[in-house]
Amino acid sequence: MGKDFIVDLVAGVKKKKTHVCLGLDPDFERIPGHIKEMAINEYGPNRRAIGEAFLNFNREIITAVKDSVAAVKIQIAWFEEYGRWGLKALEETISFAHHNRLLTILDIKRGDIGSTAAAYARGFLGEVNFWYGVKKKLYNADAVTLNPYLGRDSLEPFIRLMKENKRGGFVLVKTSNPGSKDLQDLRLENGELLYEKVGAMVNSWGQDLISEEVPYSQLGAVTGATFPQAAQKLRELMPHAYLLVPGFGAQGAGPADVVPFFNEDGLGALINASRSIIFAYEKDSYPDQHQWAARQAAEQMRQDINKELKKAGRVAWE
């Protein structure tokens, strides 16, 4: 969207006074019926209609909440599931978010080696080769999520393009799902937990990506709000990493749980909520008021988090 992901993110957070990230997980079964009916009436009951329903739903949600959120995290799986029409909707969703001056985080959780990693990086953060030597941006995301478990070389192509193009990345460190304990909480011989080791590595990998304008790196980390007890240690290990914090709302975490993920400057964490915002209309069974419900949910979340941060003395704009 802009020239520098992390600078733009901090500026947007301060301007809108929000730490909320909108998660777009457009589950086809939960999209309001009238949106699906409109798509079927125009294209018939096929995959193209599903893609159009996704796009129309996403546009309406983004329009509704854009003043309350700093970024949009788009989960690629919901689009990939439906093939080319789903991915077309994904591309157009990113473009629409940019049109509304919102940063986009494409939740891909990729991590591979060699030429495969380079291809992923070009497609999501850089430019791809077209005919006659022409290069074009494809998805044009501002940032992506990354899986570190194949090692540094699996992330190097992404890190290189982050540096060249001023894009962002969030490495999985301590995820919000209960099963994250199966691997991420394993204790190493030196007494460290595995996720602590990964956090220290992310801090090291991101040193060359720290902005000259703000004290944060283009390379951040995914740390789940459902494990607030890990927050203090992770903040110590990654003082310059912006944390993408899922698990708020539908997964059970609340406003007080996310405070420890912030630095003393009131920055450093972007709190993601998906289902609790985009499907907020389901609480009152008003499918024709999904925009109103999403707007209310996003704004309430913004206010609740800011209230808790103010009590903790961690406000970025005062």
Environment class of 108 (CB within 10 Å of its CB; exposed 0-12, middle 13-18, buried 19+): buried
Residue 251: the pLDDT is: 80
Residue 259: phi, psi to the nearest 5?
A: -55, -45
**Mean pLDDT of all residues in 183-209:** 96
Contact 23, 277 (CB under 8 A): yes
**List of residues 6+ apart from 58 with CB closer than 8 A:** 24, 26, 89, 93, 96
Determine the Cα–Cα distance for residues 43 and 154; give it in Å rounded to an integer.
41
- Please pick, among 14, 88, 109, 233, the residue that the annotation labels catalytic: 109
Counting Cα atoms < 13 Å in the Cβ hemisphere of 258 gives 36
pLDDT exceeds cutoff 80 at 71: yes
Q: Rounded distance, CA 63 to CA 293, Å?
A: 12
Q: Is the pLDDT of residue 242 over 80?
A: yes
Q: What would the pLDDT profile of 163-180 be if each residue is shown by its tens digit?
A: 999 999 999 999 998 899
CA pair distance 203, 289, nearest whole angstrom: 43
Residue type, 114: G
- Predicted local distance difference test score (pLDDT) of residue 202: 97
In whole angstroms, what is the distance from residue 10 CA to residue 17 CA? 10
Statement: residue 283 has pLDDT above 90: no
Q: Note the CATH number of domain 5-311.
A: 3.20.20.70
pLDDT value at 93 more than 80: yes
Q: What is the pLDDT of residue 2?
A: 55
| CA 135 – CA 205 distance, rounded (Å) | 28
Residues 6 or more apart from 168 whose CB is under 8 A from it?
Answer: 5, 6, 9, 105, 142, 143, 144, 162, 218, 219, 220, 242
pLDDT for res 287: 63
pLDDT band at 285; cut points 50, 70, 90:
low
Say whether 109 is catalytic.
Answer: yes
Mean pLDDT of all residues in 71-95? 97
Residue matched to tokens 């700093």: 70
pLDDT confidence band for 253 (50 / 70 / 90): confident
Answering whether pTM is above 0.75, one says: yes
Contact assessment for residue 105 and residue 168, using Cβ atoms and an 8 Å cutoff: yes
- Going by C-alpha positions, the residue among 26, 103, 98 that lies closest to residue 58 is 26
